[in-house]
Amino acid sequence: MTDIVDELQWRGLIAVSTDEDALRKAFADGPVTVYCGFDPTAPSLHLGNLVQILTIRRLQQAGHRPLGLVGGATGLIGDPKPTAERTLNDPAVVAEWVGRVQAQIEPFLSFEGPNAAAMVNNLDWTSGLSAIEFLRDIGKHFRVNKMIAKEAVSRRLNSDQGISYTEFSYQILQGMDFLELYRRHGCTVQTGGSDQWGNLTAGIDLIHRVEGASVHALATPLITKADGTKFGKTEGGAIWLDPEMTTPYAFYQFWLNADDRDISTFVRIFSFRSREEIEELERSTTERPQARAAQRALAEELTRLVHGADQCAAVVAASKALFGQGDLADLDEATLAAALSELPRAQVTELAPVADLLAQVELVPSKSAGRRTIREGGAYVNNAKVTSEDETPSASDLIHGRWLVLRRGKRNLGAVEVR
């Protein structure tokens, strides 16, 4: 690999860092132990977290040692949001989420070899710490004037909601994490999102004050989309890594439907392809955007990486079959149901003429428009062209005894579920 700092810069993964020359030298002199923290504020990580996971994966592939910190302690408090106080979750719930988040991070890292990764939990060094010890040993090294200058804190202080002492103290806990990992594992680099910069520098300052050592921080940019919508969000909400919260099919479709204006950024940040391969995909997007080669390549790569080869193959087959490039009956029920959940749907108790069903799923504005679509040869049921305006599907047409897939023209899809 080229110089890892150059590689991260080329991929657009460095928004801000401490002294770049010193950071570059540290990596060159390595191996370096680097950590990234993840708070269990939900039962799953999401696409924003994936940026950080893949960043420490890249660093490990470059020969450095990653630590994945899941905040069993900081997750009980929550990083200050820009707008309002977080809801404090029950400790038992947070403990369960710690396990789930750890299990999501582990497959991306290698836990063998000379730069084997490790998972750590900051509850290990905070649970036995008394309030007096915390204030005397850690709190005395923080200056309130610097703490209130942090962007998230400053914004909340100037809002109607204000900020509690609990959330105000979050940066002290994160700073202590860096100090503990420096002491326990020789960790000298912390990574995170650019919105975490104030928390990252808190740890740098604390280590300098307590240990007299110089350490580093590297922040990735917050990803924005060209259309102004938030990255990693759809109409249904966040794109989660847990397949029960976001199906592998929906995950695949998110990348497949990426805007041409965004795909170059996404491929550089998320793909592990070489520069040459990525530049070829970028050329393809410019020259033949209708082929969506970059979107397809990234969708398959990330679905395979996050959900495994079998799930990736299943969702690719489903995506093709929905548009007549495969047999819908060959899809397993769970994959088909996940794919159809993304389409306009109607639930019925008994089968009606196709023209009526087309109207029910709003592929056409009316039953008469449905008959006209059939007459013009543009209606399909389970990828079979409908030839009669009065045609009514039978029970034997139901896929898995439950579904009909309707299509108008080449790309307009809908689903009927018979209950």
Contacting residues for 368 by C-beta, under 8 A, at least 6 apart: 355
Give the start-to-end residue ranges of the domains of the chain: 4-220, 223-341, 343-419
Q: What is the pLDDT of residues 354-370, one digit of tens each?
A: 999 999 999 999 999 99
Cα 41 from Cα 88, distance rounded (Å): 9
> Is 1's pLDDT higher than 70?
no
Mean pLDDT value across residues 94-101:
97
Q: What is the pLDDT of residues 209-239, one digit of tens each?
A: 999 999 999 999 999 898 888 888 777 789 9
Quote the DSSP letter at residue 139.
Answer: G
CATH of 343-419, one of 3.40.50.1860, 3.40.50.300, 3.10.290.10, 1.10.3210.10: 3.10.290.10
Q: What are phi and psi of 307, to 5 degrees?
A: -115, -5
Average pLDDT of the chain?
A: 93
Q: What is the pLDDT of residues 105-138, one digit of tens each?
A: 999 999 999 999 999 999 999 999 999 999 999 9
pLDDT, position 126 = 95
Contacting residues for 163 by C-beta, under 8 A, at least 6 apart: 80, 85, 153, 156, 157
Mean pLDDT value across residues 150-170:
85
> Is 386's pLDDT higher than 70?
yes
82-86 contacts, C-beta under 8 A, 24 or more apart: 82/152, 82/155, 82/156, 83/159, 83/161, 84/161, 85/161, 85/163, 85/164, 85/167, 86/41, 86/167
pLDDT tier at 71, thresholds 50, 70, 90: very high
pLDDT tier at 80, thresholds 50, 70, 90: confident
Provide the percentage of residues in the chain whose pLDDT is more than 90: 81
Nearest to 121 by CA among 37, 194, 63, 195: 37
Binding site for ATP: which residues? 233
Q: What is the pLDDT of residues 302-342, one digit of tens each?
A: 999 999 999 999 999 999 998 888 889 889 998 999 999 88
Mean pLDDT value across residues 184-207:
94
Mean pLDDT value across residues 282-293:
94
Mean pLDDT value across residues 382-393:
94
Adjacent-strand bridge partners of 416: 346, 404
Is the separation of the CB atoms in 33 and 39 below 8 Å? Answer: no
Q: What is the pLDDT of residues 18-66, one digit of tens each?
A: 999 999 999 999 899 999 999 999 999 999 999 999 999 999 999 999 9
Binding site: which residues? 35, 170, 174, 233
Nearest to 79 by CA among 200, 160, 191: 200
Binding site for L-tyrosine: which residues? 35, 170, 174
CATH number for the domain formed by residue range(s) 223-341: 1.10.240.10
Q: The pTM is what?
A: 0.90
Torsion of CA 312, 316, 319, 323, to 10 degrees: -170
Give the CATH superfamily of 4-220.
HUPs (3.40.50.620)
Contacting residues for 351 by C-beta, under 8 A, at least 6 apart: 357, 392, 393, 394, 395, 418
Is the separation of the CB atoms in 66 and 36 below 8 Å? Answer: yes
Is the separation of the CB atoms in 263 and 295 below 8 Å? Answer: yes
Is the separation of the CB atoms in 152 and 78 below 8 Å? Answer: no
pLDDT, position 2 = 53
Q: Is the dihedral of CA 106, 109, 110, 115 positive or negative?
A: negative
Cα 187 from Cα 65, distance rounded (Å): 9
> Is 270's pLDDT higher than 60?
yes
Q: At what angle do helices 47-61 and 260-270 cross, to 10 degrees?
A: 40
Is the separation of the CB atoms in 308 and 241 below 8 Å? Answer: no
pLDDT, position 84 = 78
> Is 99's pLDDT higher than 60?
yes
